[in-house]
Amino acid sequence: MSQFLQYLVNGLTIGAFLSLTALGYTMIYGIIRLINFAHGDIFMVGAFAGYTVLVAAAAAHVPVALIVMAALVAGMLFTGLLGVVVERVAYQPLLSAPRLAILISALGASLALEESARLIFGAGFSSYPHLLPTAGFGVAGVRLTYAQVGMFVMAVLLMVGLYLFVHRTMLGTAMRALAMDRDAARLMGINVERIILLTFFLGSVLAGAAGVMQGLYYTQINFIMGFLIGLRAFTAAVLGGIGNIPGAMVAGLLIGLLQSFAAAYVSARWTDALVFCVLILVLVVKPTGLFGERIVERV
């Protein structure tokens, strides 16, 4: 039983990172109907940005909490700006081009980010300094570290923040309106190109945060890590119903749990095959995801 609970806790932790990343996929797809293949790599860049800050700061004698916060903020800001740059360079010129062109451009952007990271940080693994305190507590035989709990809370806060932004502010309402009907949004006086940039910024910020936290949690990062995480996160986005923000959050947690339990009770080698089977099944049986889509397809 405690074993089971331990897998549950691990699954939720991984799932929280996936949820954060899935939000970017779901928002970007909702708004410009693009599977942003570079999004997983934005996550990866976030991990490396955090790593750079941590390595630089580890030498200085600054409190750990401060260093970690700095790494998190730096990772988020850097990826946010990177997301904006990628959109301007690789996607914006293609917004009205055939759909395939922008998808190929996204593949190009993904490869470019991976290669840049490889050239800068090398092809091997980079190790985060072991900064997080290993202190923790036990509940019902499950061991939790404070850091683990902290990261989970942080992820949830970011998601709640995003939810409130999208549902309670004018800019967020504009984003949702744009996802439903781009021309009608223009007629409201919404500067559509700017809202698209904002969406990329926010999505990338969350992916960057997830990247830094993943680095802190697992300590091993490399330039290719974004690919698999990206696929799993996209699966979560589809599972939750594209464009559906709470849906992506919940589905991210579900995929995390699936991963954790599959690794424990089946085999780690089959985890991803299982994830994809779930994805295909969902799409075939209920193409609008578990919780319904929030986009309107104009015929």
Partner 1 sequence: MAFLDVRDLHTFYRDTEALKGASLDVEEGEIVALLGSNGAGKTTTLRTISGLQRARSGAVIFDGSDLTRARPHEIVSAGLVHVPEGRRIFSGLTVDENLSLGAYLSRGDRKRMSEDRDAVYALFPRLVERRRQVAGTLSGGEQQMLAIGRALMSRPRLLALDEPSMGLAPAVVRAVGQVIQRIRAAGTTILMVEQNVRQALRLADRAFVLETGRVVLSGPAGELAADPRVQAAYLGGSASVDEPPDGTVP
Partner 2 sequence: MPRVLGLVSERRAAAGWAVTLAVALAAPLVMGSYQLSIATSVLTFAMLGLGLNIVVGYAGLLDLGYAAFFAIGAYTSSLLSLEAGLGFWQTLPFAVVATAIGGCIIGYPTLRLRSDYLAIVTLGFGEIVRIIATNLTITGGPNGLYGIPAPGIAGVSITSIPGLYYLGLAFTVAALLLSWVLSRSWLGYAWRSLREDETAAEAVGVPTVRVKLLAYVMGAIVGGVAGPFFAARFGAVDPTSFTFLVSVQILLVVIVGGMGSLPGVLLGALVIIALPEALRAVADFRLLIFALALIALMVFRPQGLWPAPRPRGAPRGRPVPAAPLEAAAPATRGQPAAGEDLLTVAGVSRRFGGVRAVDDVSFTVRTGEIVSIIGPNGAGKTTLFNCITGVTKPDAGRVVLHGGRHGRRVLHRRAPHRVVAAGLARTFQGIRLFDGLSAADNVLVGRYCRRRRDGWRTSRGLTGGLVGVSGATHAEVRRWLGFVGLGDRGDSLARELSYGERRRLEIARALASEPFAVLLDEPAAGTNPTEKNELMGLIRQVRDSGVSVVLIEHDMDLVMSVSDRVIVMDQGQMIAEGTPEQVRGNQRVIDAYLGGEEETAAETVEEVLGWRS
Rule CB under 8 A: which residues touch partner 2?
29, 33, 35, 89-90, 93-94, 97-105, 107-112, 115-116, 119, 227, 231, 234-235, 238, 267, 269-270, 272-273, 276-277, 279-280, 283-284, 287, 297, 299
Comparing CB distances to partner 1, the nearer of 176 and 232 is 176
297 interacts with partner 1 by CB under 8 A: no
Contact partner at residue 115 from partner 2, partner 1, none, CB < 5 to 8 Å by partner kind: partner 2
123 interacts with partner 1 by CB under 8 A: no
Residues 224-283 touching partner 1, rule: CB under 8 A, are none
Provide the residue type at 154 as one letter: M
Residue keyed to tokens 């295909």 = 280
Q: How far is CA 42 from CA 21, 34, 67, 79, in A?
A: 9, 15, 21, 6
Q: Residue 183, class by beta-carbon neighbours within 10 Å (0-12 exposed, 13-18 middle, 19+ buried)?
A: exposed
99 interacts with partner 1 by CB under 8 A: no
Q: How far is CA 142 from CA 94, 137, 138, 217, 267, in A?
A: 50, 8, 5, 17, 22
Contact partner at residue 89 from partner 1, partner 2, none, CB < 5 to 8 Å by partner kind: partner 2
Provide the residue type at 120 as one letter: I
191 interacts with partner 1 by CB under 8 A: yes
Provide the residue type at 75 as one letter: G
Contact partner at residue 284 from partner 1, partner 2, none, CB < 5 to 8 Å by partner kind: partner 2
184 interacts with partner 1 by CB under 8 A: yes
- From the list 8, 58, 73, 180, which residue makes contact with partner 1 (rule: CB under 8 A)? 180
Bridge partners (DSSP) listed for residue 136 = 145
Contact partner at residue 184 from partner 2, partner 1, none, CB < 5 to 8 Å by partner kind: partner 1
Q: Residue 101, class by beta-carbon neighbours within 10 Å (0-12 exposed, 13-18 middle, 19+ buried)?
A: exposed
Pair 196, 30: CB distance under 8 Å: no
173 interacts with partner 1 by CB under 8 A: yes
Contact partner at residue 48 from partner 2, partner 1, none, CB < 5 to 8 Å by partner kind: none
Rounded-to-integer distance, Cα 79 and Cα 4, Å: 36
Binding positions for partner 1, rule: CB under 8 A? 170, 173-174, 176-177, 180-181, 183-192, 294, 296
